[in-house]
Amino acid sequence: MQPLLCCALVLVWLSTAAWALSHIFDVREATITSVHDALFTHSATCRNIVSSFIARIEELNPSINAVISLNPLALSIADHLDQRLAAGNVTGALFCVTVLLKDNFDAVGMSTTGGCRGLAHNKPQADAPSVRALVDAGAVVLGKTNLHEMAFEGLTVSSLGGQTVNPYDLTRTPGGSSGGSGAAVAASFAVLATGTDTVNSLRSPASANSLFSFRPTRGLISRAGVIPVSSTQDTVGAMARNPSDLAVALSVMASVGFDPRDNVTALAPRQVPPQDYSASLYRGNLSGLRLGLLDGFFDHTTSIETMPVNNIMASMVSKLTETGVEIINITDPIYDTLAIAKLDVQAFEFKDLLNAYLTPTTANQVSRGHEVLRPTSFDELYNTDTGTGTTNFLVIPAQHHFIKKASYSSTRDAPYLETLNRIQDLTRALETTFTANNLDAIIYPEQKNLVVKIGSPSQSGRNGILAALTGHPVVCVPVGFSAPSEHAPVGVPIGMEILGRPWSEGLLLNIASHINELAPVRKMPPFVNGTVEPKAYESVPSLTPNVANIHTAYPLGVF
């Protein structure tokens, strides 16, 4: 290469890098609208935006441990979108919007691990349909988030990812199982993040991180391409920092429609074109709504962990009443969370579903040559060390009990069929409650107490089981914080669930939007609210999750 040409290319590169660094996109609390405003006013490129998020993750993730891996293709995807932008080919509701995936969603180019060491080399050959919908809408998948291993609990600790920390209180968990997604969105590591919900797992981290989330009606969004736990209870969804972004995420993920890989999607009403939930946000007002309040979903004892929740909920109920909402207290003894929790059927369904997911197919090939890249069955995962000489998975008492039960339980067991009948009874009772009281929705705190401390044996006090069993939709909204303390400078976030009738997502998002206007409470996490200097990346850096922070109460071991 001629010296003058070489110098010219260096100058061009330096000029480009200098421009990129001078056009800083502040990703803190970024929204779909702010990303698009920056792009369309040419104040930032897609590469600027994606690089800014990556720099923030690289700088702050070590303290929060929310992101388990980055997508090595993220910058090249951003460059492709910049080319489309320059050509005027800007389509898709999520054009250049950054999304993090809970690490149980299949996405080409990244492992799908479930946070489990035994699945570290699980390389899917096809995107989950919900992921493909996000990508087709223009989203940039930044990477994968930590979760409670295999989505079994709400502490968000895993053998591959370690312990994720709540960015509002570094001594507490971020909820779970989608806690990595919750902590990441709260810390502005992305605009949106996906999650799954088998009992509480989308709503628990939303509540604990001052976020909005949805658990859709069973059948609205395909669950294919996601590590399964329960065909009865599993759903997929998303988290965001505001209702508007959440509505866009729901619209995109639900646009998949019927998916033969997940036959429950046949239950959903077909709409052509797919429903735009954003159109539902700002219609009408709260006046005249009838909201049921589930008394059995509160812990009325006096403690420093329960009283903040009760006080915040009382304040919210008062605000709603002042705006013309009629609150109907529901005291039916059927709504006892301890009794309802006994209807959980995960352990009956998990083994068969995991076997089906791990069985090699054209969409998920596994090399079976001299090296076994990952287990191909439940028994291989939980009864061997895959020849690596390392342990496969994290063991906590509740999780060990679950895996043990799952190893000998199946959907052919008589107690399973009896439990399904009781779930149907509960579903009919819930419909009766709606009809008899002429309710628009039902409200209650997502968690009876503040999100638990790191090292706790379980995420106690959560209320998600009712929606999980009945398949009803829920939107979770932030409603306040506990009082500030030494460990929580702005307090610990508290969330409220809004449960509706099947297919009422539009109404629930409308209520959530009006509540957010009535009482906006979201605050940035104090430990990660500073700016991060951008970088001119040549390639996406790799991450090393902090597994050293796993509490001694959670040993690693082979089942």
Active site amino acids: 102, 177, 201
Q: Which residues pair with 495 in a beta bridge?
A: 478
Burial 422-453 (b: 16+ CB within 10 A, else e): ebeebbeebeebbeebebbbbbbbbbbbbbbe
Determine the Cα–Cα distance for residues 555 and 394; give it in Å rounded to an integer: 6
Determine the Cα–Cα distance for residues 162 and 122; give it in Å rounded to an integer: 18
Determine the Cα–Cα distance for residues 52 and 331; give it in Å rounded to an integer: 50
**Residue 410, Cβ neighbours under 10 Å: how many?**
13
Determine the Cα–Cα distance for residues 81 and 78; give it in Å rounded to an integer: 5
Task: Report CA-CA distances (Å) from 558 to 385, 392, 404, 405.
Answer: 7, 6, 12, 16
Determine the Cα–Cα distance for residues 372 and 269; give it in Å rounded to an integer: 43
The sign one gets for the Cα dihedral 386, 388, 389, 395 is negative
Determine the Cα–Cα distance for residues 410 and 559; give it in Å rounded to an integer: 19
Where helices occur in 154-306 by DSSP H, the ranges are 179-186, 203-208, 243-254
The CA angle 479-482-485, to the nearest 5 degrees, is 150
Secondary structure (DSSP) of 134-174: HHHTT-EEEEEE--SGGG-SSS-EETTTEE--BTTBTTB--
- Pairing relationship of beta strands 441-445 and 235-240 according to DSSP bridges: unpaired
